[in-house]
A and B are shown apart, each in its own frame.
Chain A
Amino acid sequence: MDTIAEIPKEEYVLKCSSACAGCSDSLALRYVLKAAGPDTVLVIPACCTSVIQGIYPNTAFNVPVYNIAFGAAAACASGMSNAFRAAGKKTNVIVYAGDGGTLDIGIQAMSGAFERGTDFLYICYDNEAYGNTGMQRSGATPLGAKTTTTPTGKTDFKKDIDGIIAAHNPPYMATAAAAYPQDLFKKVQKALSFRGPSFIHVLAPCPPGWRYSTEKTVEMGKLAVKSGIWVLYEREYGKLTMGAQSKVAMKKPIPLEDYLSPQGRFKGIDPKNVEILKQRIQKNFAKLSAEEAAS
């Protein structure tokens, strides 16, 4: 594990955002901005991160932010990045978007930007539902999770957005979790060192949405990784490297139930769905480790 000392002390979210107590979105953003530094513009589509900034004419965010319509973040970032580069500026352009804004409504603009080779970083913080509007299901909601629009548990699988991004062959892509801020910090720094599009998918447990008590946010992210339901890896020019924590989880995962049972959204989940989730964890590990061995 890296020492904490190498992470800058500067905070780019001033005390403090209006995120719910124990929010992963704000925890992750602290480290994204520490890694990116002051010469950064955030492009934020409609999501929790748009509302937690504060009320006009004030904002808690101490970097320039462009708040944009739900589906348009990557299109906005493309134009912005091109304009900066044309002016000879190295300013980091970072989309910081929710899972709904990424896997669902923002996907076509994002695909276009990756195809055009836009020089930007796209970060999706994934709280596995439409948090800002009261926890409706999204493409990122996992099988069996209750949301306000799947009151008996979602009957479809979580969409494989990482597979979709990988098909665009970006120079760099990674998964991360708010519960591992040093790892997230390093990945953001690395992503910004590449020219062209990069992508980081951050697991972001959400206390009101996932229905667990606020102090468990970091614990929940660690349980996700230790159970293997969330795998930490990075892919650099197609070469995959699995994170050390996930290698441990692959050899000896903790019971998935340890992750599911503290969360109200999985209360009363059909045991058949738990089995399906466990099988998919094994399959995903097998797929990723085969790719790592081959690359």
Chain B
Amino acid sequence: MTPSQKRERLAMSRPLEGATGKTGTWRVFRPVVDKETCNACGLCATYCPDGVISDDLEIDLTYCKGCGICANECPKKAIAMVREEK
């Protein structure tokens, strides 16, 4: 057994998107951005705890947990939290 194969026997996890599952399924309310009102200040992306808002301010709904921080912090009140249909 080579040293690197031996090391593989350690409990070592590897980075992977979706390592904790598709957290978007947790959502009760979904953030919906009104592009007309949004001034692209980027504060929603700054404060999103999970970093699911991209540079071009698209929200990745596969992972967005629906916490509502983006809506609460938006200075233009451009984000509405809309109840998910089950």
Do residues B72 and A14 form an inter-chain contact, with CB atoms below 8 A? no
Contact residues in A for B17 (Cβ distance below 8 Å) = 14-15, 60
The yes or no answer to B30 lying at the interface (CB within 8 A) is no
Q: Is the CB of B15 within 8 A of A16?
A: no
Q: Tell me whether A26 is interfacial, beta carbon within 8 Å.
A: yes
- For chain B, what secondary structure do more than half of its interface residues adopt (helix, strand, loop), or is it mixed? loop
- The answer to whether A23 and B49 touch (CB under 8 A), given A59-B19, A214-B69, A215-B69, is yes
Interface digits, A51-73 against B, CB 8 Å rule (1 contact, 0 not)?
A: 01111111111100000000000
Give the docked Cα–Cα distance between A60 and B52 (Å). 13
Give the docked Cα–Cα distance between A4 and B47 (Å).
11
Q: Which residues of B contact A15 (CB under 8 A)?
A: 17-18, 23, 50-52, 60, 62-63
Total chain B interface residues with beta-carbon distance under 8 A: 34
A132 CB within 8 Å of chain B: no
Q: Give the chain B neighbours of A17 by CB distance below 8 A.
A: 20, 50
Q: Which of A147-155, A216-224, A283-291 contacts B (4 or more CB under 8 A)?
A: A216-224
Using a Cβ cutoff of 8 Å, how many contacts connect chains A and B? 108
Given A22-B67, A52-B20, A219-B72, A57 contacting B47 (CB threshold 8 A): no
Q: Does B11 contact A (CB under 8 A)?
A: yes
Structural contact, B13 and A56, CB atoms closer than 8 A:
yes
Least CB separation from B73: chain A residue? A218
Interface size on A, residues (CB 8 A): 38
Known: A17-B50, A30-B49. A55 touches B19 (CB 8 A): yes
Greatest chain A CB density within 10 A among B23, B55, B62, B67 is at B67
B-side residues, CB < 8 A to A, are 11-21, 23, 26, 42, 46-52, 55, 60, 62-63, 65-69, 71-73, 81
